[in-house]
A and B are shown apart, each in its own frame.
Chain A
Amino acid sequence: MEINDYKKIKTIHTLSLQYDIPTERISTFWKNLEKNKISTTQCKSCKTKYFPPQIDCHKCLESNMKWVKLDTEGVLETYTHVMMPPTSFIKKIPYTVGVGAIKNEIKILAWIIDVPYNEIEVGMKMKIIIKEIDNRLVYMWTKAKTNR
């Protein structure tokens, strides 16, 4: 018989947490991704744009948004290459996350894909593309084609 020193007790009831995130009020965002469009919300009253899209305007306290198409061209402000991932992303490493600024107005955080490591640098011109990953549409950054 194994001797138990009782230095610890492993809990036998495990808890698994998976959430249904309500996205009904901004479902248009993903419907637009299906049409290969990246869009966001703009307040009809005060013209403030929000990204990520939201249905409420905190500036004028109204919930009266219109959906506007976003420009897909941006400039890279910062990035990192993730080498040690969270458990659920272990199969995806290494990946590069970056924040790009569109017309100095909206910034978008997303993966940077299809760009060799040594070509990624702050200030580089990028564009948004929409890809399907694990049955889901996701927006990503990639290098913009430049005319040289």
Chain B
Amino acid sequence: MEKVAIVGVGHSKFGRRTDLNLNELAFESIKEALIDARITSKDIEHVTVGTMGGLSEESLPAVVINEYAGFNSKGLLRVEAACATGSAAIREAYTNIASGLCDIAIAIGVEKMTQVEGSTAIEMLGRAGSYLWEFENYGLTFPAYYAMYAIAHMKKFKTTEEQLGLVSVKAHKYGAMNNLAEFQKEINLDKVLNSPVVSWPLRLYNSCPVSDGSASVVLASEKAAKRLTDTPIWIKGLGAASDTANLSKRQSFTEIKSTSKAAEMAYKMAKISPKDIDVANVHDCFSISEIMAYEDLGFCKKGEGGKLIENKDTYIDGRIPVNLDGGLKAKGHPIGATGTSMIVEITKQLRNEGNKRQARIKNGIGLVHNLGGTGHTCYVTILSQ
């Protein structure tokens, strides 16, 4: 298997981007990634577009983006793994290079979600489970699924609403320092606890927004990376796992098993353990999912996730900085782009390009944790200097 490096990254401004269409939005990050890699579209040999789709007018988003960016003639694939789509795109591009099929590939994560009424977007996302047995008669919403995790976690481990709120406070603190984030204002705990309930106990400020955005990553084989860049960031470990569609078939509501399985695979492949990680991005679609991720990734013992955020252990100067770009909560969650956005952030951290948000890098290792749906899928990717 070939070694694979990240040689170029690009990231659009996330948020309500009704000022541009799907192609223009994708291009914003594609252009930046190509320039960062010091190549042109002609040098790309394989294109993977990660997008859930369905909320913009294009039925075949990968096809139109491929044309707009001048890649047409290369191998093209659209991947989807719900909210883990971006990581799935990275994995797909990675395997094309690792297998020796090509030397340079691009993974483009993109989502346009604000071209429809907000209620339409919410209805579509609510169907992310088993349609007939969860949505049709019971009107499940995406927040409702995670709210059920929160209730179980609060009952078993005494996690509190305040601890949930502190996750959002951290997200906004770093979002305010990230000029690409959707929300760039700090908030305090009161703001979270006084916001309207979406699905008890999760409130508006415990929930990530519906956003537009794109993030692109150029990957290369060792041979190509050597001539393209002095600062390749290596993909050292990958893990992927899945779990049941029906929530009722899950073994536990206090842990997301696909996370622990994917993490175990990634740690084993990279030959590292959680304590070796300098900086991480985890999937905080709702406050509870960040707390559960701390536990499922092995950053702390089961049930202690709430304490970790309370003690500020996941702040920039804590023992394991998490989501220094604002996370899904403050940076935004354009579904297909979140996974690639996380890879962009960790790449910049390992390249020491974090500026005001730069974590202290001791071991040169970063982790990306990306969930699909309610833990239907999980991808964990480990990057190293």
Binding site for B on A (CB under 8 A): 8, 11, 21, 23, 51-52, 77-89, 92, 95, 97-99, 107-111, 121-123, 133, 136, 138
Contacts and interface: CB of A to CB of B under 8 A. Distances in A.
B133 A79 contact: no
A108 B248 contact: yes
B138 to A, nearest CB: 6
24 contacts: A77-B152, A79-B151, A80-B147, A81-B199, A82-B139, A82-B144, A84-B141, A84-B198, A86-B126, A86-B135, A87-B123, A88-B123, A92-B139, A95-B138, A97-B140, A97-B144, A98-B148, A99-B247, A99-B248, A107-B248, A109-B246, A109-B247, A111-B138, A121-B155
B328 to A, nearest CB: 18
B132 interface: yes
B200 A80 contact: yes
Contacts of A23: 132
Contacts of B196: 83-84
A109 B199 contact: no
Interface residues of B, number: 39
A106 to B, nearest CB: 8
Contacts of A111: 137-138
Contacts of B144: 80, 82, 97
A131 B251 CA distance: 28
B292 to A, nearest CB: 13
Contacts of A21: 131-132
Contacts of A81: 197, 199-200
Contacts of B249: 107
A114 B249 CA distance: 25
A85 B138 CA distance: 10
A84 B141 CA distance: 8
Nearest to A92: B139
Most buried by B among A83, A98, A99: A83
Interface in B227-286: 246-249, 253
B122 A83 contact: no
Contacts of B150: 80
A82 B200 CA distance: 7
> Chain B interface mostly helix, strand, loop or mixed?
helix
Interface string B182-217: 000000000000001111111000000000000000
Contacts of B122: 84, 86-87
A82 B132 contact: no
A110 B139 CA distance: 10
Contacts of B313: none
B197 A11 contact: no
Nearest to A110: B138
Nearest to A11: B57
A109 B244 CA distance: 14
B315 interface: no
Contact of A80 (B57, B133, B151): B151
B130 interface: yes
A122 to B, nearest CB: 4
B119 interface: yes
A88 B119 CA distance: 9
B120 interface: yes
Q: Which 7 A-B pairs have the closest CB atoms?
A: A89-B139, A80-B147, A81-B200, A86-B123, A78-B152, A107-B248, A87-B119
B143 interface: yes
Most buried by A among B126, B133, B248: B248
B199 A77 contact: no
Given A81-B197, A82-B141, A52 B133 contact: yes
A84 B1 CA distance: 48
Contact of B133 (A88, A89, A109): A109
B352 interface: no
Contacts of B18: 8
Contacts of B32: none
